[in-house]
Amino acid sequence: MGAEALRLLVVSTPVGALGSGRGGGVELTLASLVAGLLERGHHLTVLAADGSRLPAGCERARLWSCPGVDQPSWQHQRRDSPVVMPAQALLPRLWQRAVGSQAGFDALINLAYDWLPFWLTPQLHTPLLHLVSMGSVAEVMDAVIADVARWDQRRLAFHTRAQADDFELSEAPVLVGNGFDLEAYGFCAAPEPLLGWVGRIAPEKGLEDAARAAALLGRRLAVWGLVEDPAYAAAVEAAVPAGTVDWRGFLPTSELQAELGRCAALLNTPKWNEAFGNVVVEAMACGVPVVAYRRGGPGELVQPGINGLLVPPDDVPALAAAVADAEGLDRQSCRAWVERTCSRAAFAERLERWLLSALGRSPA
């Protein structure tokens, strides 16, 4: 480790316990962040919902938990929605514990996309930093994030430029990407003639486009992910010939990667400005080329001709037409790109640089 050891409190999402999958990509981000910073010699405490389990690689962290009711996810509300606080809510309990314990830490790192922790930022004695997990989805969140940026933008980090561009910032954003434990993803050189899709089954993820592209090609689409919106899943199923969508359910990473590697290509079709796109990198780590819309994080992660192909957003025929070319790409070069760019160690180094700069401890 190049820096003095920091005592860090990482506050998780108030949507679901760690390990439930309800927190979406934030669960994987937390695992990489905690394991990566532990490897660099820092001291980590994780504060999360009751029922949480520390992910693999994070065993040396301390786990604190609180009971409480989940926060409604911002991405499923209207842009002009007010801040909502359910009775017995988990979010204020997490922050009551974090604020009360702040003196024992050098910094607090918030991974939740919620108004309360952003609003609290200037009120705390211990620096509170935020790794912002989504692009713009609500006016009240845009405003509170802009307030923090105006007060001290070093407190904010983003996953990709496309995500950061959604917000009103005063300086160039800190971009940290994301990190993956690449040993957990086996490279598969010989796939089956199977198309894949991975994500929460919810409208912003655009599964219907991938299903329609598979139907145009007369191919089967294996789908892995948590069904967040059963009515939406049923509508996708009804829109394509029976048997097109092969529902595989939600799997833990260890099982998901083994299945994912067998795909000839992954389709990634978000309708929103995806902040990063973990599943894009996870597929590439298994050697699977990705066909994605030129939009949001996936539009930055896919390097056309190297690890996949990009097509115009929402253009289903173009998506279908790109599959054959994507299947012809070198699967080793997909894996190699991930190793260069998205390892957990590289992510932890970027995070450490951000932390030291925000705490005013950067080497000259």
Dist CA 345 CA 210 (whole Å): 33
Shortest CB 198 distance to ligand UDP, Å: 5
Q: Which two tokens stand for residue 99?
A: 């604020």
Shortest CB 233 distance to ligand UDP, Å: 14
118 binds ligand UDP (CB under 6 A): no
Shortest CB 28 distance to ligand UDP, Å: 4
Nearest CA-CA partner of 265 in 197, 351, 184: 197
300 binds ligand UDP (CB under 6 A): no
Residues 3/352, Cβ–Cβ less than 8 Å? yes
Q: Which of 176, 256, 284, 310 binds ligand UDP (CB under 6 A)?
A: 256
Residues 274/251, Cβ–Cβ less than 8 Å? no
Nearest CA-CA partner of 305 in 283, 335, 325: 325
How far from each other are the two terminal CA atoms of the chain, in whole angstroms? 17
25 binds ligand UDP (CB under 6 A): yes
Residues 224/259, Cβ–Cβ less than 8 Å? yes
Q: How many residues bind ligand UDP (CB under 6 A)?
A: 18
Look at the chain and count its residues. 364
Nearer to ligand UDP, 118 or 224 (CB): 224
For residues 269-298, which are near ligand UDP according to CB under 6 A?
276-279, 282
Nearer to ligand UDP, 201 or 358 (CB): 201
Nearer to ligand UDP, 99 or 256 (CB): 256
250 binds ligand UDP (CB under 6 A): yes
Residue 277, SS3? coil
Dist CA 191 CA 265 (whole Å): 9
177 binds ligand UDP (CB under 6 A): no
Dist CA 311 CA 88 (whole Å): 45
CA distance readout (Å), 52 to 16, 21, 46, 49, 251? 8, 11, 10, 6, 17
Letters for 208-247 (x = contact with ligand UDP by CB under 6 A, - = none) are: ----------------xx----------------------
200 binds ligand UDP (CB under 6 A): yes
Footprint on this chain of ligand UDP (rule: CB under 6 A) = 21, 24-25, 28, 198-200, 224-225, 250-251, 253, 256, 276-279, 282
